[in-house]
């Protein structure tokens, strides 16, 4: 009698993916809709929490990750900063601010080193990274020597060390980011309540 061929072997990543598709095929439509709705609720809850933090803190980005070593030893690469940006609070020298400069997409985390107050009450200020040799005038847009309050995204109020390294790894290795998002999405879609 003829023997059947040995089962096909999948690679280390293909096996779980095949299991995922098998699980999806075995779900009835009601279960699938329920899981998709569950996933949508998780995403919308995360967005609502983020928007709530924006309202509470007054900052367009209440949590940021330090991406460089320019603020060492105060903050290290991968530290997670918590920001507020209440417009009534005056900016003071020595304070750590997160600011955006025209022409740059990523905000910068540096310390205020000088304040320049005009007679009309307008305040301009100069920043510098603690680990940098010179001030930030080279980072500002051409012809700009001072920052204004409108440039500030937020002011550092607290931090968690190295928690943001996950974000840095995902930015440095986009394939890892997509794999992680796919695994998380598949888990939420396929998780069944007991």
- The two structure tokens encoding residue 93: 């020298």
Which of 59, 70, 79, 151 does the annotation list as catalytic? Answer: 70
Told to judge if 44 belongs to the known catalytic residues of this protein, a careful annotator would answer no
Catalytic site includes residue 70: yes
Residue of 59, 79, 136, 151 with catalytic role: 136
> Is 116 a known active-site residue?
no
Question: Which residues form the catalytic set?
Answer: 70, 110, 136
């Amino acid at each position: 009698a003829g023997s059947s061929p040995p089962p096909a072997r999948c690679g280390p990543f293909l096996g779980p993916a095949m299991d995922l598709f098998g699980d999806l095929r075995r779900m009835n439509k009601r279960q699938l809709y329920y899981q998709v709705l569950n996933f949508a609720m998780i995403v919308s809850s995360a967005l609502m929490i983020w928007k709530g933090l924006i309202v509470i803190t007054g900052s367009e980005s209440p949590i940021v990750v330090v991406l460089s070593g320019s603020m060492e030893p105060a903050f290290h690469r991968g530290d997670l900063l918590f920001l507020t940006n209440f417009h009534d609070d005056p900016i003071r020298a020595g304070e750590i601010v997160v600011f955006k400069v025209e022409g740059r997409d990523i905000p910068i985390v540096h310390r205020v080193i000088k304040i320049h107050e005009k007679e009309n009450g307008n305040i301009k200020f100069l920043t510098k990274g603690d680990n940098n040799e010179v001030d930030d005038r080279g980072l500002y847009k051409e012809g700009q020597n001072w920052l204004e309050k409108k440039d500030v995204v937020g002011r550092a109020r607290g931090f968690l060390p190295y928690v943001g390294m996950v974000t840095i790894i995902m930015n440095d290795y986009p394939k890892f980011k997509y794999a992680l998002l796919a695994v998380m999405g598949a888990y939420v879609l396929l998780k069944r309540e007991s």
